[in-house]
Amino acid sequence: MYALGVDLGGTNARAAVVEVSTGRLVASAKESWTDRAPERAVQAVAALVGKVAAGHDLGGLPVGVGVAGMVRGDVVVNAPNLHWRDVDFGGPLAAALGRPVHLVNDLSAAAWGELKAGAARGAADTFTVFVGTGVGSAIISGGALLSGATGVAGEFGHLKVVADGGRACGCGEHGCLEAYMGGAKLTEWMQESGVQGTPADLERLALEGVTTAKGLYDFAVGHLALAIANQVTVLNPAVVVLGGGVLLRCPGMVRRITEVVMTRASVAARAGLQVQLATLGDDSGLVGAALLSRR
Ligand SMILES: [Zn+2]
């Protein structure tokens, strides 16, 4: 049995046919795009889905589409990376594809992919944190994604890590975790402080003991790690899944987070807890969007 998934990012769109029982990609295609007009996105995604679906007898199979933003029904309420606000994307896409479309937040999709086919297979309660350009999370409780009263639960990147003020965040507020730890903002902060390179370079310099680098690194990673430990205390997950471009490239961060979670989360909540790196890598969201469409 197959499922169809799409991962719509700020710079790339990917589509895949996924084997439901294993999460394996049977066919996949990718396209970069710079024109982020919603009509162009509909065309690009429709072309990608057509490409991967060719040669497979998929009938009227629905397609799951993961979007980096807040999603409600067919509408992308807010996707800062795409500069979309209140865009009806699902309706026109379903019309173009001749298939039902199931829109989902990209982190929810990633958490679902890791639950069904990755690091958290067999678990029912997980807390998934991805650090890439930004910081995002998703909560699965009792086998179901937690969405909250108005669908915005899990906005972990916008936890405040300083009591007053703090660095400006892309969300318009100040002092958010993402304003320090998101790949984009961390790189900005490094440049302002005279530390060149990527977050991976920051990790190397910090571990070598370069004072400025160590200051930034300890602040950013320390707050991320403590915030995850506190979520573990509140949510009592069986597995914490860590992923995203920054964490996948910075093993020192993963070690620090694991250490802090295992010493600072409540004793009861950390008993039996596993902290795992996402095993589907860049495919978590793609696989999860596909599998969510077949629930
Ligand atoms: Zn924010």
* 8 A C-beta contact, residue 158 and residue 177: yes
Work out the average pLDDT over 182-207.
97
The residue among 243, 228, 256, 139 whose CA lies nearest residue 183 is 243
Token couple for 122: 């067999």
**Ligand 1 midpoint to CA 171 (Å):** 4
Other CB atoms within 10 A of residue 112 CB: 29
Tell me the C-alpha distance between 282 and 28, whole Å: 13
pLDDT score at 24: 96
| Complete domains list, the chain, with CATH | 2-109+283-292 (3.30.420.40), 122-278 (3.30.420.40)
Residue spans of beta strands (DSSP E) within 170-280: 239-243, 274-277
pLDDT score at 171: 85
Work out the average pLDDT over 134-156.
93
**Ligand 1 midpoint to CA 287 (Å):** 27
**Ligand 1 midpoint to CA 182 (Å):** 10
pLDDT score at 55: 87
| Band (41; pLDDT cuts 50, 70, 90) | very high
**Ligand 1 midpoint to CA 122 (Å):** 33
pLDDT score at 230: 98
The pLDDT tens digits of the residues spanning 65-74 come to 999 888 999 9
* 8 A C-beta contact, residue 287 and residue 28: no
**Ligand 1 midpoint to CA 142 (Å):** 28
Contact partners, residue 84, CB within 8 Å, separation at least 6 = 36, 38, 69, 76, 78
**Ligand 1 midpoint to CA 175 (Å):** 7
**Ligand 1 midpoint to CA 180 (Å):** 10
Work out the average pLDDT over 123-140.
96
pLDDT at 287 over 80: yes
**Ligand 1 midpoint to CA 121 (Å):** 31
Mean pLDDT of the chain: 95
Q: 240-256: string of b/e by CB count within 10 Å (b at 16+)?
A: bbbbbbbbbebeebbeb
**Ligand 1 midpoint to CA 133 (Å):** 13
pLDDT score at 33: 79
The pLDDT tens digits of the residues spanning 1-40 come to 999 999 998 778 999 999 999 999 999 999 987 788 999 9
DSSP assignment of 140-196, as one string?
Answer: EETTEE---TTS-TT-GGG-BSSSS--SB-TTS-BSBTHHHHSHHHHHHHHHHTT--
**Ligand 1 midpoint to CA 169 (Å):** 5
pLDDT > 70 fraction of the chain, expressed in percent and rounded = 100
**Ligand 1 midpoint to CA 9 (Å):** 19
Work out the average pLDDT over 202-211.
98
Report, in this order, helix, strand and coil percent for the chain, each rounded to 5: 40, 25, 35
**Ligand 1 midpoint to CA 167 (Å):** 10
pLDDT score at 220: 98
pLDDT score at 98: 95
Q: At 83, which amino acid appears?
A: H
pLDDT score at 188: 97
| Band (94; pLDDT cuts 50, 70, 90) | very high
pLDDT > 90 fraction of the chain, expressed in percent and rounded = 87
* 8 A C-beta contact, residue 68 and residue 79: yes
Q: What is the pTM of this model?
A: 0.94
DSSP code for 126: E
Phi and psi at 88, nearest 5°, equal -75, 100
